[in-house]
Amino acid sequence: MPDPLSALRDHLAPIEDLKTAAAVLAWDQETFMPDGGADARAHQLSTLQSMAHERFASDTTGELLDRAAETVDDPESLDTAASLVRVTRREYDRARRVPSSLVAELSGAISEAKRAWAQAREQDDFPAFAPHLERLIELTVEKAEAIGYEHEPYDALLTEYEPGLTTPDVASTFATLREDLVPLVDAIAEAPQIDDAPLHGSFPQEKQQAFGERVLSDLGYDFDRGRQDVCAHPFTTAFAPGDVRITTRYDESFLPSALFSTLHEGGHALYEQGIAPNLARTPLADGASLGVHESQSRLWENHVGRSRPFWRHYFPLLQEAFPDALGDTAPEAFYRAINRVAPSLIRVEADEVTYNLHVMLRFELERGLINGSLAVNDLPRRWNEAMDDTLGVVPDTDTNGVLQDVHWAQGAFGYFPTYTLGTLMAAQLMEAIRDDLPSLAPCMAEGAFAPLLDWLRTHVHQHGRKLTAPRLLKRTTGQDLSADAWLRYATTKFGALYDLS
Ligand code: ZN
């Protein structure tokens, strides 16, 4: 008979295989599948996912977990055995609390809501989507009640993506952020605007692709363990540490679209490629949380990819690739253009600064929807008021407003805050990195990223899901989650760019 820990691993491995197989199908669906495959693919995905769920939520998992737990001395230890028991137990308890009838009902409601959302978005018809959203909220609250929570039902949803954080943690961090962010955005709005003309022009796709792949390789992304394809909504997906794929999209008249989505997804992918191989085929082979995952993408996209040292190295190469569009552009003009801040309607197109206001707006509205203080019918009005209050722009249609994101139609309540949490964590990590690596900027200016990647591998990547975000931050920075580091970063960087006093 195998020892209890091996028995647990042997039981969990095929469950992870089922989930990975579903991920391969999902990747194919977004990249290469013809439209005609949609119905069959929905069945295939749902079969694999429910098989994985059934096996995982079974009594067997519980028994194996109990036996394995007896072999662990310190349940909080970071060694693989203790972490495997701890993280699997956390997910198992959660999976067991939600009745399978509710899981099935939710999954059906989500399929219908997604279809209704796509149509409503196309036709700018929020009322057509409203009953689906109401139904999803009802079922989601039921799920939250089944899971249990400390302060309010939203906690139970948040912890799926961000274990160890509660709604009040997020609310108070965001309140601190807002206090200094809103005046910063106001001050930028009153300053002379930066010209982003250098970013508009003619940028042939194959040249963009070659440049992007060159940068990814330099950063440390291993193309022998990954690949990049084209997709309308860029994402990263990992099937194993040896197979981590990214996608991007190209706009031949606007350079930043592919450039920064490549750096962003590259950051996610470097994380996945750095997870210790011995965690493969276990629930530990994933990012610590969505926020920590996003901290890696934001770190490479913004702290590296929108910095002067980075472009000191790459701007001459970029000019070489696009002599017609950029031949006469000064490096400083380019640096300023890629850091332009301007309030806009669409979250995914927002700049580094105003992006956080889009996220906080969604967090407040979805928290209201879940705790019952906001009715679905009032949502478009409240959305537009909040946009006006925080960003000073009001959408002309619901398509450009409340209907722009798919998350709610997917039942993913509690997901939005992780984008800004990741932004804040990235800035906290960067302060620790700068302390440890005083020569970081000169290294980047020479195109040398190994010291940075090694630091991240050691402190973040290799641990996979062993750590929660609060524990990871404490270990690496000595601090709790906080908006202060990002505010220091943003005030300094954008204060200089916009000449604010
Ligand atoms: Zn991301």
Helix (H) or strand (E) holding 324: helix 323-326
Residue 309 in tokens: 């040292």
Exposure letters 463-494 (e unless 16+ CB within 10 A, then b): bbbbbbbbbbbeebbeeebbbbbbbebbbebb
- The structural domain count of the chain equals 2
Catalytic residues: 265
Residues, the chain: 501
Shared domain for 96 and 200, answered yes or no, is no
> What percent of the chain lies above the pLDDT cut of 70?
100
Q: Which residues pair with 245 in a beta bridge?
A: 227, 237
pTM beyond 0.85: the answer is yes
CA distance 86 to 84: 6
Residue of 264, 265, 199, 257 whose CA lies nearest to 227: 265
What's the one-letter identity of residue 458?
A: T
Please give the distance, rounded to the nearest whole angstrom, from the Cα atom of residue 299 to the centre of ligand 1. 11
Please give the distance, rounded to the nearest whole angstrom, from the Cα atom of residue 7 to the centre of ligand 1. 35
CA distance 316 to 326: 10
Residue 173 resides in a domain? yes
Mean pLDDT, residues 496-500 taken together: 97
Sequential DSSP letters for 416-428: THHHHHHHHHHHH
Does residue 253 register a pLDDT over 80?
yes
Shared domain for 85 and 186, answered yes or no, is no
Q: 344 CB contacts (<8 Å, ≥6 apart)? A: 350, 351, 354, 391, 393
Task: Quick: pLDDT tens for 201-235.
Answer: 999 999 999 999 999 999 999 999 999 999 988 99
Residue 150 resides in a domain? no
Mean pLDDT, residues 247-252 taken together: 96
CA distance 296 to 302: 10
Shared domain for 431 and 488, answered yes or no, is yes
Mean pLDDT, residues 327-331 taken together: 96
Please give the distance, rounded to the nearest whole angstrom, from the Cα atom of residue 300 to the centre of ligand 1. 11
Task: Quick: pLDDT tens for 482-493.
Answer: 999 999 999 999
Measured in degrees and rounded to the nearest 5, phi and psi for residue 246 equal -125, 160
Residue 62 resides in a domain? yes
Does residue 409 register a pLDDT over 80?
yes
Please give the distance, rounded to the nearest whole angstrom, from the Cα atom of residue 65 to the centre of ligand 1. 32
Residue 147 resides in a domain? no
Task: For CA atoms 3, 4, 10, 11, give the dihedral sign.
Answer: positive
Task: Quick: pLDDT tens for 181-190.
Answer: 999 999 999 9
Provide the pLDDT for residue 107: 87
Residue 194 resides in a domain? yes
CATH number of domain containing 288: 1.10.1370.30
Please give the distance, rounded to the nearest whole angstrom, from the Cα atom of residue 213 to the centre of ligand 1. 18
CA distance 5 to 71: 8
Shared domain for 355 and 224, answered yes or no, is yes
CA distance 56 to 60: 8
Choosing from 91, 110, 125, the residue where a domain stops is 125
Sequential DSSP letters for 306-320: TSHHHHHHHHHHHHH
Q: Which residue has the tokens 């996610």?
A: 268
Choosing from 75, 100, 125, the residue where a domain stops is 125
CA distance 422 to 195: 28
Choosing from 125, 154, 178, the residue where a domain stops is 125
Provide the pLDDT for residue 2: 84
Please give the distance, rounded to the nearest whole angstrom, from the Cα atom of residue 297 to the centre of ligand 1. 6
Measured in degrees and rounded to the nearest 5, phi and psi for residue 308 equal -65, -45
Does residue 1 register a pLDDT over 80?
no
Please give the distance, rounded to the nearest whole angstrom, from the Cα atom of residue 229 to the centre of ligand 1. 16
Shared domain for 360 and 212, answered yes or no, is yes
Shared domain for 319 and 198, answered yes or no, is yes
| pLDDT bucket at 147, cuts 50 / 70 / 90 | very high
Mean pLDDT, residues 388-404 taken together: 95
Please give the distance, rounded to the nearest whole angstrom, from the Cα atom of residue 294 to the centre of ligand 1. 5
Please give the distance, rounded to the nearest whole angstrom, from the Cα atom of residue 258 to the centre of ligand 1. 14
Provide the pLDDT for residue 501: 79
Residue 134 resides in a domain? no
Shared domain for 194 and 78, answered yes or no, is no
Shared domain for 185 and 37, answered yes or no, is no
Provide the pLDDT for residue 38: 87
Please give the distance, rounded to the nearest whole angstrom, from the Cα atom of residue 395 to the centre of ligand 1. 24
CA distance 361 to 178: 11
Residue 142 resides in a domain? no
Q: Which residues pair with 108 in a beta bridge?
A: none
Please give the distance, rounded to the nearest whole angstrom, from the Cα atom of residue 327 to the centre of ligand 1. 32
Please give the distance, rounded to the nearest whole angstrom, from the Cα atom of residue 324 to the centre of ligand 1. 32
Shared domain for 40 and 93, answered yes or no, is yes
| pLDDT bucket at 37, cuts 50 / 70 / 90 | very high
CA distance 417 to 173: 11
Sheet strands side by side (includes 236-240) = 226-230, 243-248, 236-240
Longest dimension (CA), the chain: 73
Residue 478 resides in a domain? yes
Task: For CA atoms 34, 39, 42, 44, give the dihedral sign.
Answer: negative
Domain containing residue 303: 167-497
> What percent of the chain lies above the pLDDT cut of 90?
95
Mean pLDDT, residues 87-111 taken together: 92
Query: Long-range pairs for 389-394 at CB < 8 Å and ≥24 separation?
Result: 390/182, 390/357, 390/360, 390/361, 391/185, 391/343, 391/344, 391/354, 391/357, 391/358, 392/189, 392/343, 393/343, 393/344, 393/345
Q: Which residues pair with 75 in a beta bridge?
A: none
Shared domain for 112 and 196, answered yes or no, is no
Residue 246 in tokens: 């990214």
The SS3 of residue 240 is strand
Task: Quick: pLDDT tens for 228-247.
Answer: 999 988 999 999 999 999 99
Shared domain for 212 and 314, answered yes or no, is yes
Shared domain for 199 and 112, answered yes or no, is no
Q: 53 and 95 in contact (C-beta within 8 Å)?
A: yes
